[in-house]
Amino acid sequence: MRQDRAPRRGPAALIAALALALAGAGGCANPATSPVTEAPPTRPLAIPALEEGTGAGGTRAFDLVVDEGTHDFGRGTTATMGVNAGYLGPTLRMRTGQDVRMDVTNRLDERTTLHWHGMAVPARMDGGPHQLVAPGATWSPTWQVRNPAGTLWYHAHPHGDTAEHVYRGVAGMIIVEDQAAPAGLPDEYGVDDIPVIVQDKRFDDDGQLVFDQPGPSSTGFLGDTVMVNGTVGPYLDVRATRTRLRLLNASTARVYRLALADGRAFDLVGTDGGLLPAPVRLTAIQLSPGERADIVVTMAPGERVMLRNTSPEFGGRVGPNSRFGTGDYDVLELRAAQQLRPAPPLPTTLATWQRLPASAATTTRDFTIHAQIINRKPVDMGRIDEVVPAGATEVWVLRNRDPQPHNFHVHAVQFQVLDVDGAPPPPELAGWKDTVYLAPGSEVRIIATFPPDGDPTWPFMYHCHLLWHEDSGLMGQFVVVEPGQTVVPPPDPYDH
């Protein structure tokens, strides 16, 4: 069914790919250079179903079935993957303090996982590449929600196949609600609280999804068609004065810089891991793969305004052989009704957390990306790269020594950005983050407090969230251990 399926990469193939990347070889025409083709806003934005789990009182259980599916992106039906749906999955809403169980059933004919991106969970519940779910099997992780109110997401994470599974549709949003969050933010799902999952795809002449291997020095797959929640050329009927857009870049490699086409400002209220202390007025927000932003857009009755991509600011010194998406194009049209429900003013205080000073850290670790690997080592699923004491606060120094963009995602924690090339973070990087963009040549220092509970056998991952880079080895593993625990490197579940 999936003829363009990539062969599983062995070490030899990986080394060959890295050699090509280092050489910056040209090769045949790379579709990664394809510009985005704008689609007129003719289709109502699809809103993923909302799931809040079943079971009153105790544990809320979420039933999640990963399966092959079909979806019509406007060019006829094509084969996809999805979670409880033909393409993508439901939005999972849960509350801080709630006990949850995810019953993840894999109906694909190959193994996959679901990772709870941004969620504070025990390592063995993380859904990373060590928690493979075999075809036909059900995996049921449980945890108590410790995150504050925010926008997280879930996605497939099987090593070597993450890019393809996410591209084909194994992803969805998670909304955490928290009694500590102030009233006054738009919170009616699908009405004034809208998931905006931005992705790019490519189709063949028969309207079938194309997913192919990127060329050398690439950031990974780049499509020529941008969509939101699987809708190409979407518009949203706006029904209230203020609308909250939960922006998620769920693309393989494309970076977006989103702005409202008439230049109006919006309010940034949250970043990856939760609410900011106070709303921040911005006119554009840049998101690399995996990053989120909660923004509130204010409109008058009858207005139409386009959420539009403007060329991202990649920063640094981008090499001549780097290929990534640029250009200006429409993403989502907002169409306000003639009568809008009035909304209260935004709360002036959203959250009360404090910034962590660098002096709070007991350890500093260095992570240098060069030649698309971290600290000179491609990932080894049987090797622990870092051992972090439970509850420790640490500074991690992230350096990108490649002439192309990367970013950096850390499992298990939300971190704060201390500085970017020595300068304080801009407002959009000054909240809780789990994924941060690394411009070519840049150095970003982050600080995080690690989980209080140790587990010496199950590692967490850190990696580039440009999914082809991750799949080809730009990843490492850490364990969190309590005093007296002995680190036991895990077996490599991909050995065969």
Interface contacts to Cu ion, rule CB under 5 A = 406, 464, 466, 469
**Least CB distance to Cu ion at residue 259 (A):** 25
Q: What's the CA gap between 481 and 477, in Å, rounded? A: 13
**Least CB distance to Cu ion at residue 114 (A):** 22
**Least CB distance to Cu ion at residue 217 (A):** 11
**Least CB distance to Cu ion at residue 96 (A):** 32
Q: What's the CA gap between 119 and 347, in Å, rounded? A: 25
| Of 91 and 199, CB closest to Cu ion | 199
| Of 260 and 475, CB closest to Cu ion | 475
Angstrom distances, CA of residue 458 to CA of 130, 148, 292, 394, 489: 8, 25, 27, 20, 8
| Of 296 and 464, CB closest to Cu ion | 464
**Least CB distance to Cu ion at residue 149 (A):** 30
| Of 250 and 466, CB closest to Cu ion | 466
**Least CB distance to Cu ion at residue 305 (A):** 33
| Of 308 and 399, CB closest to Cu ion | 399
| Of 428 and 470, CB closest to Cu ion | 470
Element housing 460 (H / E): strand 455-463
- The burial of 484, by beta-carbon neighbours within 10 Å (0-12 exposed, 13-18 middle, 19 or more buried), is given as exposed
| Of 202 and 406, CB closest to Cu ion | 406
Can you count the helices (H) and strands (E) in the chain?
Answer: 3, 34
HEC secondary structure over 299-325: CCCCCEEEEEECCCCCCCCCCCCCECC
User: Which residues fall within 8 angstroms of residue 3, CB to CB, at 6 or more apart?
Assistant: none
**Least CB distance to Cu ion at residue 368 (A):** 13
User: Which residues fall within 8 angstroms of residue 99, CB to CB, at 6 or more apart?
Assistant: 58, 59, 60, 142, 143, 144, 145
Buried b (16+ CB within 10 A) or exposed e, 156-170: bbbbbbbbbbbbbbb
| Of 457 and 477, CB closest to Cu ion | 477
**Least CB distance to Cu ion at residue 495 (A):** 25
Instruction: Show the tokens assigned to 170.
Output: 């194994």
| Of 60 and 469, CB closest to Cu ion | 469
**Least CB distance to Cu ion at residue 376 (A):** 15
User: Which residues fall within 8 angstroms of residue 466, CB to CB, at 6 or more apart?
Assistant: 219, 220, 252, 253, 288, 289, 405, 406, 407, 474
**Least CB distance to Cu ion at residue 404 (A):** 8
Angstrom distances, CA of residue 456 to CA of 384, 392, 395, 450: 10, 15, 21, 14
Please give the sequence-ordered ranges of beta strands (E in DSSP) within 13-76, or none if there are none. 43-44, 50-51, 60-72
Quickly count: other Cβ atoms within 10 Å of residue 413's Cβ. Answer: 23
Sign of CA dihedral 163, 383, 130, 2: positive
| 338, HSE (Cβ side, Cα atoms, 13 Å) | 0
**Least CB distance to Cu ion at residue 106 (A):** 27
| Of 309 and 472, CB closest to Cu ion | 472
Strands of the sheet containing 256-260, edge to edge, are 43-44, 234-240, 329-341, 304-309, 256-260, 284-287
| Of 168 and 469, CB closest to Cu ion | 469
